[in-house]
Amino acid sequence: MPKVLVSDKLSMAAVQIFKDNGVEVDYLPDLGKDKEKLLEVIGQYDGLAIRSATKMTEKVIAAATRLKVIGRAGIGVDNVDIPAATKKGIIVMNTPFGNSITTAEHAIAMMMALARQLPEADASTRAGKWEKNRFMGVEVTNKTLGLIGAGNIGSIVADRAQGLKMKVVAFDPFLTPDRALEIGVEKVTLDELLARADFITLHTPLIDATRNIIDAAALAKTKKGVRIINCARGGLIDEAALYEALKSGQVAGAALDVFLEEPATANPLFEMPNVICTPHLGASTGEAQENVALQVAEQISAYLNAGEISNALNFPSISAEEAPRLTPFIKLAEMLGSFAGQMTETAIKGIKIEFEGDVASMNTRPMVASAVYGVMRPMMPDVNMVSAPQIAKDRGIGVEVVTREQQGAYENYIRLTVVTERQERAVAGTVFASGKPRIIQVKNINMEAELTPSMLYVTNEDKPGHIGRLGTLLGTLGINIANFNLGRAEQGADAIALVSIDGQLTEAQLAEIASLEGVKQAKALRF
């Protein structure tokens, strides 16, 4: 039974979902904050469900010897070292939509609170001051909202802001003109946004391109008296620069849900009267927390129990519907890769994977990952389907993918070519209607073979007597033949034999086979 740790505070509904799916679960909501304890116990778990308090650093990931999946009940995964997880073959998933409405609503609430100074007015009134003249606000109607990041949350914010009769301009390099039209925003450059916005709201992930996107230089380009809302990530705004801009009046107010250092318990911005702070509450509604907890528990369970992959950030998705259909092709791709990988003895420059027929219209990305995994596994025993594409990229191994309509007799055809300094070696296969993967071509020679755990691959001159000699030698060596598959380019040219055998060949036995008359190459293969 797979075992999952929930190390941050999650709705208990998640725990029930794990149990209902036959997954053992430890609910330890404070563990994520205790780095040492996390390091101590993480090695026991196959799955991990977190929010933002648990920091999955390279060190913790290295200690997670059994871990197969990390599920973030939420959107931002900046608390997970994704490259380290990928290298270890750990799938990292999030729940990209479950808290978007709630977070967008928080941004709008922060904007309105900022426009009318609600927290300060509230505190003053409770203190018995009745300072009616002190709290002069601004209307949002007809004001310009500058949206930095127009993805899921940004576009909901845009929709709500338009309901408040605001004009919305958006800076997002990936926003297409059609999408901008659809969500009713004007796509602008960052400088234009800074120059035009009365309110600026941030909704991007924290990545290198967005870190300190609002810095001193950007603040200098804003309208004097701009108000800024950040319900995305600390680190998007240079806090020291914001402090100075608030002090000088360049920025009239800021509403911050997120901070560079969290938990934020002492921050110079807390001293500023025109700053509203919440403790990373963007996603904190009952509705959003129920959504993300249920979703993450379902996703983790489906992966651990059935290999279904949804919302993974480091691996292509495989839906429950397509999983049964894709599985034999994923297996075939891995077998072809493994065959070619075992035959390759020099540095690999590239891998080409061609999909023909029905398979070309399927979700080929997991097959590509599986094929690359197959090629690399003989050289790197710790590689896996998640890490293989990244490792190939790191090593400069190009992966070319070609898809085309059916050309030959097979309804489905996958051909994998490994390119080395010295040569190209291709192997092709198909999946029959029965769901059985088969090798159908090796080095352009047709044959039909099932790949079994232990095989002998022989290339020889196509001359009479070879099969008899090989069979007799295997018998003499005490090797039982389970299946014998043959193919040849043309009469008298090169021929190949793929022999399924019981047990393993020793190096000495292989050398005897290689020295048989007419044999050009003999290799033991394992699948």
Ligand X SMILES: O=C(O)CCC(=O)C(=O)O
Residues in contact with ligand NAI by CB under 6 A are: 74-76, 96, 99-100, 103, 148-154, 171-174, 203-205, 209-210, 231-233, 257-258, 280, 282-283
- Quick one: 32 or 146, whose CB is closer to ligand X? 32
In contact, 34 and 54? CB cutoff 8 Å: no
Residue 425 designated active-site: no
* 51 binding partner (options ligand X, ligand NAI, none; Cβ < 5 to 8 Å by kind): ligand X
99 binds ligand X (CB under 6 A): yes
Which position among 280, 438, 466, 488 bears the catalytic label? Answer: 280
Smallest gap from residue 75 Cβ to ligand X (A): 4
Q: Which does 331 bind (CB under 5 to 8 A by kind): ligand NAI, ligand X, none?
A: none
Alpha helices in 286-433 (DSSP H): 286-306, 323-343, 365-376, 388-394
**Can you tell me whether residue 103 is helix, strand or coil?**
helix
Catalytic, 262? Answer: yes
* Biggest CA pair distance of the chain: 108
Q: Which stretch binds ligand X (CB under 6 A): 69-77, 81-89, 120-128, 503-511?
A: 69-77
84, 283, 296, 519: residue in contact with ligand X (rule CB under 6 A)? 283
The one segment of 22-30, 71-79, 377-385, 387-395 that binds ligand X by CB under 6 A: 71-79
- Annotation marks residue 233 as catalytic: yes
Residues 6+ apart with CB under 8 A from 370: 330, 331, 333, 334, 337, 385
Of residues 213 and 497, the one with the C-beta less far from ligand NAI = 213
Among 2, 74, 149, 151, binds ligand X (CB under 6 A): 74
Angle at 53 between CA 34 and CA 272, to 5 degrees: 115
* Contact by Cβ (8 Å): 523, 496: no
- 253 pairs with which residues across the strands? 227
Query: What is the rounded distance in angstroms from the CA atom of residue 45 to the CA atom of residue 24?
Result: 10
- Does 152 interact with ligand X (rule: CB under 6 A)? no
Stretch that binds ligand X, among 282-290, 322-330, 353-361, 472-480 (CB under 6 A): 282-290
Rounded to 5 degrees, what are φ and ψ at 146?
-95, 120
Cβ-proximal residues to 522 (8 Å cutoff; 6+ apart), any chain:
456, 457, 458, 510, 513, 514, 516
Say which entry of ligand X, ligand NAI, none residue 373 contacts (CB below 5 to 8 A, set by partner kind).
none
Sheet holding 481-488, edge to edge: 481-488, 494-501, 454-461, 519-526
Contact 105, 262 (CB under 8 A): no
Nearest-angstrom CA–CA distance, 291 and 27: 18
**Least distance from ligand NAI to the Cβ atom of residue 102, Å:** 8
Residue 232 contact partner, candidates ligand NAI, ligand X, none, CB within 5 to 8 A by sort of partner: ligand NAI
Residue least distant from ligand NAI (Cβ): 151
Q: Which is nearer to ligand X, 2 or 74 (CB)?
A: 74
Shortest Å distance, C-beta 48 to ligand NAI = 19
Contact at 8 Å (CB) between 202 and 231?
Answer: yes
The answer to whether the CB of 336 falls within 8 A of the CB of 375 is no
**Residue 73 or 383 having the CB closest to ligand X:** 73
Residue 75, interface with ligand X (CB under 6 A)?
Answer: yes
> Which residues lie near ligand X (CB under 6 A)?
51-52, 74-76, 99, 280, 282-284
Catalytic residues: 233, 262, 280
